[in-house]
Structure formats: C-alpha cells, structure tokens
Amino acid sequence: MKSPIPLLLIDDDDVDRMAVQRVLRSSDIVVSITEATDIVSGLEALDAATFDCVLVDYLLPGGDGLQLLTHARTKGQDVPFVFLTGHEDGAVVVDLLANGAAGYVPKSKLTEEVLVRAIRDALGLPAP
C-alpha cells in the first residue's frame, strides 16, 4: 500500500473542506489531510509539520492565501500551493501564479478529475 501524501487544507468554509475531503476519498490518490481554517492556524500548521502539497482558499479570515505562500517561501519551504477559491478574478489568478502558486482550481469546477489533476501536476506525479 502506498504511503499517504501529506496535504494541508486551509479553508474557512466547513462545507468546502468536506467537499474536498469527499472528492479526495473517492480519488485514486491516497492522502493524509491536516485542516486549518484561517491565516493563524494555517501558519501554525506550516510551521509545525512538513506537507507535500497545500490546498488553500484565497480569501481567509485574517488575510489571504498569498500571505501563507509568502510565509512558506520565506521559511525556505518549497511546498506546492494549489489555490481553491470562489474568487474567480483573472487578475488574482495571474498574481497567484506569478507569485509561485502551483495551480488554481475554481470551487465552481471542483470535481475529482480537476482536483486530482491539479495535485498531480503540483507534485509532478504521472497520471495513473
């Protein structure tokens, strides 16, 4: 059996976090998910453990996901960040990618295929 991929999921919406968990449980990748709900708990999680991928909402209580990405890079963490957000502004997407985001998935298009492809791309994993 494969070792689970450690993921950090940061989103303030309980329903969205459950949806991501449900999608990943039905997928072909095995993950171990740590959850955070805001900037503070996200920063604490990033500092406390090592993750292979971070799935993060753009707008969070206390700030935005870009602050978390900047924090990780400042700490020397090269973990890929995939943004999951309902904020579908093209300028925001360009800004996220220009600042090192590995991917972007609009919550309106959150399906198993789209999310798993984004995670595989971020981690450099081949398709099954």
97 in any annotated domain = yes
What's the total number of domains in the chain? 1
CATH number of 113's domain? 3.40.50.2300
**Cα within 13 Å of Cα(74), Cβ side:** 9
Confidence band of 1 (pLDDT split at 50, 70, 90):
low
Domain of 71 in residue numbering reads as: 5-123
Specify if 52 maps to a domain: yes
If pLDDT is split at 50, 70 and 90, which confidence band does 85 have? confident
pLDDT tens across 16-75, in order? 999 999 999 999 899 999 999 999 999 999 999 999 999 999 999 999 999 999 999 999
Domain contains 82: yes
Q: Which pLDDT belongs to residue 36? A: 98
Is residue 66 a contact partner of residue 94, using CB atoms and an 8 Å limit? no
Residue 77 maps to a domain: yes
Residue 66 covered by a domain: yes
Examine residue 43 and state whether it is found in any structural domain, yes or no: yes
Flag whether the pTM goes above 0.85. Answer: yes
Reported as type and span, the H/E element at residue 85 is: strand 81-85
Domain annotation covers residue 128: no
Q: CA-CA distance, 121 to 127, in Å (whole number)?
A: 9
